[in-house]
Structure 1
Amino acid sequence: MLLTLLFSMSVALLIFLLCLGFIKKYVVPQSTFQKRLNSINDLNTVDASRIINNMHTKREQEKDDLSFYNRVINPLIGKLERNFFELTPSSLAGTIQQKLTVAGLKKKLSVGGFSIIWAIFVCFATYFAYRYTTLNVLTPIQIVLWLLLGAVAGGILPIIILHSVIAKRQAKILRQLPEVLDLMCVSVQAGLTFDAAVKKIVQRAHGPLIDELREVLDDMSMGVARRQALKSMAKRCEVPELSLFVSSIIQAEHLGTSISNTLTIQADNMRERRRQSIKEEALKAPIKILFPLVIFIFPALFVVILVPLILNLIKQF
């Protein structure tokens, strides 16, 4: 019985393989895609893989170009950004652009995009204020005041968020600056030039300061002078310590002094500044902890200590 079953399965498998070979050889047509693959197989392996990768990349780009986001949403957003940019005053547009650059959002958010976000915040805050006035019985003056308060709050909130992003980024740059200066100093003392040291640091580290140094290298590769690229970096960051470092490097280059000694002095100076800032924050800690003590801890202690005494006094009298 078992031998008969095995023989039947073998015959069925043989018939299946014969049919499959016949179909592949005579039935399946040679499509244009298969002809292209056959021609690629005649080439060497490197060229064939390169052509296949290019075909795959091109096909993916065509899919992305035909997507709903690229056909409808992206052009609509671009048109809205251009319209809001035209409505924004020129003086205010320059200020917003500078703030976005300092926040590191220059490539992610345009002036028109920030104006759209600002308008959305104003509309939502005004709407919530209007809903509050409809749910409560208020006089006309109070309704107008609430609507004005909602519009002002919605207009101020994006600016507060942007300044918060700027402060956090500047703090990260200031925290990373002494380490980068130490690496530059070691690299230059090892025999590298200043540009090569910066390039080596950019390849091996990450962070907002590293992104700015990468942009400095890109500007220099485009033909911008080193001092101009460094000045642009200091202007983009608006960090006093970084501006001091840039000024010292430009002065050392102008006077022809040793950049290694300049970097050593600046590294020691930045490390001492960071140590002093940490001490300053530590001295501020007792004052900052005073408010949580008065608001949260002292009332709980008074309840635990004084309530039993008060209850005992009430029982006695």
Structure 2
Amino acid sequence: MDSWLHISLSLVFFAVSFGTLVVYRFLFGERIQIAQRIDQVVGSPVPVRELELSVPLYQRAIRPALAGIARLLVRFIPAAREAELQKKIMAAGSPGNLNAREWMVLKYLVAVGIGFLFWTFADVVGKSLSQAVFLTAAGIPLGWFGPELFINSRIKQRKNQVEKALPDALDLLTVSVEAGLGFDGALMKVAEKPKGF
């Protein structure tokens, strides 16, 4: 008798569960299929936090910090010096995608950083105060002109790349024009080629 009660309760439980599942599929089945199809076509949505973390640290933190400091220091940067530096940055191929103000901030930070590094080195080695001041005074200009030297080396490197690629680009341009392409089409053909082809 007791076993029949357990069996009938089990059958009722399974019947109710199955009935609930059927009703659920009947009411929401179409929505579930649409949601699955959207996931297949569009892909599951990526959380905003995950998107933010996929961006490199340089883009998330360092670049905005440089831009913020640049806004504060803009009144101390002469406009002529900024324009001259912007031309150099363009000639160097915009390394790091930084503008002139951000490069100026970088120069200030590197100068202070190297000065502090030299001061700390003098302190660790046990140099006298005058020697520590001399080392710091030598480190600040070194840090100031370091980014400038980097930009100049990039300009020289870029000029060399252009000089090496120019004959091939002119040859391709000539061949494209002779093959019947218009001048603008030939330029597009040259632009499609990888750098330094």
TM-score (norm: length of structure 2): 0.70
Aligned pairs, number? 176
Task: Measure the CA separation in 2 of the matches of 1:36 and 1:87.
Answer: 61
| Equivalent AA in structure 2 for residue 138 of structure 1 | S
Change (3 A) 1:151 1:198: same
1:198 maps to 187
| Equivalent AA in structure 2 for residue 202 of structure 1 | A
Change (3 A) 1:21 1:192: farther
Task: Measure the CA separation in 2 of the matches of 1:137 and 1:24.
Answer: 81
| Equivalent AA in structure 1 for residue 175 of structure 2 | V
Task: Measure the CA separation in 2 of the matches of 1:40 and 1:198.
Answer: 46
Change (3 A) 1:149 1:193: same
Flag structure 1 segments of 5+ consecutive residues without an equivalent: 1-17, 42-47, 211-317
1:35 maps to 31
Q: Which of residues 192, 207, 212 is equivalent to 2:195?
A: 207
Change (3 A) 1:130 1:19: farther
Q: CA deviation at 1:148?
A: 1.2
1:137 maps to 127
Flag structure 2 segments of 5+ consecutive residues without an equivalent: 1-14
Whether 1:63 and 2:48 are equivalent positions in the alignment is yes
Change (3 A) 1:75 1:132: closer
Percent identity among equivalent residues?
18
Q: Residue 97 of structure 2: SS of its match in structure 1?
A: coil
| Equivalent AA in structure 1 for residue 99 of structure 2 | S
Q: Residue 98 of structure 2: SS of its match in structure 1?
A: coil
CA contact (8 A) 2:114 2:142 kept: yes
Change (3 A) 1:132 1:38: closer
Change (3 A) 1:139 1:109: closer
2:5 maps to none
CA RMSD of superposed structures (Å):
3.9
Change (3 A) 1:22 1:159: farther
Q: Deviations over 1:44-103 (max 9, x none)?
A: xxxx79x943xx59x45x726973779x73654532333344432211111111111001
Alignment of 1:212-291 (within 5 A): none
CA contact (8 A) 1:81 1:111 kept: no
1:245 maps to none
Task: Measure the CA separation in 2 of the matches of 1:164 and 1:67.
Answer: 34
1:26 maps to 23
CA contact (8 A) 1:80 1:112 kept: no
TM-score (norm: length of structure 1): 0.46
Task: Measure the CA separation in 1 of the matches of 2:133 and 2:158.
Answer: 38
Task: Measure the CA separation in 1 of the matches of 2:70 and 2:17.
Answer: 59
1:187 maps to 176
Q: Residue 30 of structure 1: SS of its match in structure 2?
A: helix
